[in-house]
Structure 1
Amino acid sequence: MNLFNTQLIEYLEQNACDITEKWLQTRAPIGKSVYAVKDDKIDALLREQNRFTIKTIISSLCDDQTAYKENSEEWAKTVAKSRAESETPIYEVLDVVSKFKQIFIQYMESFFDNHTDASQKQMMPSMVTVGKAFDDLYVKFTEHYYHYTTAKLEAQQELIRELSAPIIPITDSIGVLPLVGDIDTKRAKTIVEVIPVQCMQQKITHLSIDLSGVPVVDTMVANQLFQLIQTLQLLGVTSMISGINPAFAISSVQLGIDFENVETHATLKKALEKMGLNTNI
């Protein structure tokens, strides 16, 4: 590493605290993102992360790029996870990092001003390197932020799908699965995977699958229902279908769906009565 870069790095390291404080002053108390909240713990977190940002950018100026590669990857993972968990919009993060970049560049320019003997040939490579480092951080951050937010969204959607197919216990061994609304491929797959597990957990031996709230049946839905019933049968759970309305029945006939080997009832009440429950109480 040449003497000029060594002195630049030392200067930036010596002024790291000042750079961080100047950056923190750019925060606007607008909205509910992590940057707008005034809290000692959050302030401490932002200071720590910003110091790591400075360390990462400075390491890009070293001849050996090993430290920079490690730092940039760790920075992107850490900050992306933190911002995703705090639900800070990505555009706010990029705006804040952009402001920090301007401050960092200002300190570099200040160093150059104090070294009038330095030539453009010495200064330009450093400026270019730092510019590329920031661009690299943008890309790595957005990539990790996308992965974290996508994983979080998928987990939420999975929870919603599970909640969309709950077994309601009627007695210690009898349960009802009320299905409501359209059943798409993902929801049908969730039902087939989740319901047998719920039956085992709740020790359900008799289950009525109520379709009163399902407006349309197609071949996919019917096949998934058959698969569910067969799976439950293997687990020792007796199941039947209730709530088959005229539109459902007509659609089934038109599609050639055969419910001959499946016990069906027009209403949930009749299904429960078949299970031995007195519904007149």
Structure 2
Amino acid sequence: MSNERVYEEFCSLILEKSSELAHEVTEIQTKKYPEMQSISNDLLSMREELVSLFAKSFVMSDEDRKKNFKAWGKKAGTQCATLNASLEEMLNEFPEYRTILGDLLKMHAKKNDLTIDGFYNMLNILETDIGDVTCYFSLPFVDYQADQLRNSKEALFELSVPVIPISDEIAVLPLVGDIDTGRAKLMLEKALEKSAKLKVKYFILDLSGVPIIDTYVAQIIFQLIDSLELIGVEAKVTGMTPDIVQTVVNLGIDFKKIQTYSSLKQAINTINGSETQRTV
């Protein structure tokens, strides 16, 4: 029997057993990782599809084989990431296909008196398939997790500059922790955006939770106050700690034109008092 005929028969054999082999891999993985039991049904169809691709790869061109595995890897990698499977668990699965299919390949080769060269070629196809699957699966899996992490960081970053309306006319931005370049820029952006959206008259920047500021942050504060004035919002700064005051003095920064208050309460009382006076 020619090598090509042996390849075709092996392809048919694996296709017939695709469901059985997928269940076998599922059982092995579930025993190794009991936590995967809850998603085993979701993974079963994916595994059966992969077994079928392994089978067809023995009668396909290298170009078509890689194309199919790449498409499967993109879909399966993203799906497994959304199912919260770990990359370690999934990568440890692929050697199981090598073992299971390798044993079947050996028996098939013996049964059909396949030449050494023919057996080596089939084994090489299987090894190449395993390597391709590992690569094509890992990339979208890692990309998806990286996107999720980036989105989480961005959401957390935005929470670090919470603009809080405390009345129809007053909004407060209470800052806590160090302010780096990125956070300072976000502070400027969010303060202007929220002030315009809320249509407030007063904006209070509370620095009581900030240990220290540098020249750049001080410049952003000046820029923020000037920008708020342009949209008709009166800005005030509260909670400047002794360390911040000392830094401001040492840096030669002039805060005289900025309305500063020792506490948020004092600033609010001042605003309410001035509003009362205007009403009277």
Task: Calculate the TM-score normalised by the size of structure 2.
Answer: 0.87
The amino acid of 1:36's aligned partner reads Q
The amino acid of 2:8's aligned partner reads T
- Say which SS state the counterpart of residue 257 (structure 1) adopts: coil
Say whether the 8 Å CA contact 1:207–1:238 is kept in structure 2: yes
Identify the match of residue 150 of structure 2 among 129, 147, 154: 154
The amino acid of 2:214's aligned partner reads D
The amino acid of 2:72's aligned partner reads W
Identify the match of residue 52 of structure 1 among 49, 54, 67: 49
> Residue 36 in 1 paired to residue 32 in 2?
no
Can you list the C-alpha shifts for 1:137-173, whole angstroms capped at 9, x where unaligned?
A: 2122222222111111111111111112112211112
C-alpha displacement of 1:32: 7.0
Say whether the 8 Å CA contact 2:12–2:55 is kept in structure 1: no
Runs of 4+ in 1 over 6 A off after TM superposition: none
Q: Output the CA distance in 2 between the equivalents of 1:270 and 1:83.
A: 54
C-alpha displacement of 1:242: 1.0
Q: Output the CA distance in 1 between the equivalents of 2:181 and 2:104.
A: 56
Q: Which residue of 2 aligns with 1:189?
A: 185
Q: Output the CA distance in 2 between the equivalents of 1:61 and 1:166.
A: 59
The amino acid of 1:236's aligned partner reads G
Identify the match of residue 10 of structure 1 among 12, 18, 28: 12
The amino acid of 1:164's aligned partner reads S
Q: Output the CA distance in 2 between the equivalents of 1:153 and 1:46.
A: 24
> Residue 179 in 1 paired to residue 175 in 2?
yes
Say whether the 8 Å CA contact 1:192–1:228 is kept in structure 2: yes
C-alpha displacement of 1:260: 3.3
> Residue 233 in 1 paired to residue 235 in 2?
no
Q: Output the CA distance in 2 between the equivalents of 1:141 and 1:6.
A: 26
Q: Output the CA distance in 2 between the equivalents of 1:31 and 1:24.
A: 10
**Which has the greater radius of gyration?**
2
Say whether the 8 Å CA contact 2:211–2:241 is kept in structure 1: no
C-alpha displacement of 1:30: 6.7
Q: Which residue of 2 aligns with 1:258?
A: 254
Q: Which residue of 1 aligns with 2:272?
A: 276
Say whether the 8 Å CA contact 1:59–1:65 is kept in structure 2: no
Say whether the 8 Å CA contact 1:242–1:265 is kept in structure 2: yes
Q: Which residue of 2 aligns with 1:87?
A: 84
> Residue 122 in 1 paired to residue 118 in 2?
yes
Matched residues, number: 272
C-alpha displacement of 1:125: 0.8
Deviates more, 1:222-231 or 1:172-181: 222-231
The amino acid of 2:19's aligned partner reads C
Say whether the 8 Å CA contact 1:84–1:145 is kept in structure 2: yes
Question: Which blocks of at least 5 consecutive residues in structure 1 are unaligned?
Answer: none
Q: Output the CA distance in 2 between the equivalents of 1:109 and 1:231.
A: 75
Q: Output the CA distance in 1 between the equivalents of 2:10 and 2:32.
A: 35
Relative to structure 1, the CA distance from residue 32 to residue 14 in structure 2 (aligned partners, 3 Å threshold; closer, same or farther) is: closer
Q: Which residue of 2 aligns with 1:108?
A: 105
Relative to structure 1, the CA distance from residue 25 to residue 243 in structure 2 (aligned partners, 3 Å threshold; closer, same or farther) is: same
The structure carrying a bigger helix percent of its residues is 2
C-alpha displacement of 1:131: 0.5
Relative to structure 1, the CA distance from residue 32 to residue 193 in structure 2 (aligned partners, 3 Å threshold; closer, same or farther) is: farther
Q: Output the CA distance in 2 between the equivalents of 1:100 and 1:160.
A: 41
Q: Output the CA distance in 1 between the equivalents of 2:225 and 2:31.
A: 56
Question: Which blocks of at least 5 consecutive residues in structure 2 are unaligned?
Answer: 275-280
Say whether the 8 Å CA contact 1:180–1:212 is kept in structure 2: yes
The amino acid of 1:126's aligned partner reads M
Q: Output the CA distance in 1 between the equivalents of 2:50 and 2:75.
A: 11
